[in-house]
Amino acid sequence: MEADTTKLLEACRGKEFANLRDEALIRLFANTGARLSEVGNLAVADVDLHTESVRFHGKGAKDRRVRLGPNTVRALSRYLRARDRHKGAECRTCGWRTGAQHP
């Protein structure tokens, strides 16, 4: 499993917005074991780089806070900085889809 994750991360290498987004997503899934819906519904406010943690809103309206590893924190930090300069940055959700429009 670790070798597969490494291959995915190698495919994301680069400084383009999509590369930074994809690396952050892969690291977030690998590091936290979060469900697809938890990551998909993640809001920018749920990511706390100071405490190196993220708050997931899970099944049954239960929230949980998960600590992040240093590589995941770094990847999320790079992604969020790039997101600030990207179209749709005013959206409160993490906006994982390129050019995604959220209500």
**Burial status of residue 66 (CB atoms within 10 A of its CB: 0-12, 13-18, 19 or more):** middle
- Give residue-wise pLDDT tens across range 45-77: 899 999 999 999 888 888 999 999 999 999 999
Q: Read off the pTM.
A: 0.81
The CATH number for 68's domain is: 1.10.443.10
Count the domains in the chain.
1
For CA atoms 60, 55, 82, 25, the dihedral sign is negative
Domain that holds residue 58: 2-84
For residue 102, tell me if it sits in a domain.
Answer: no
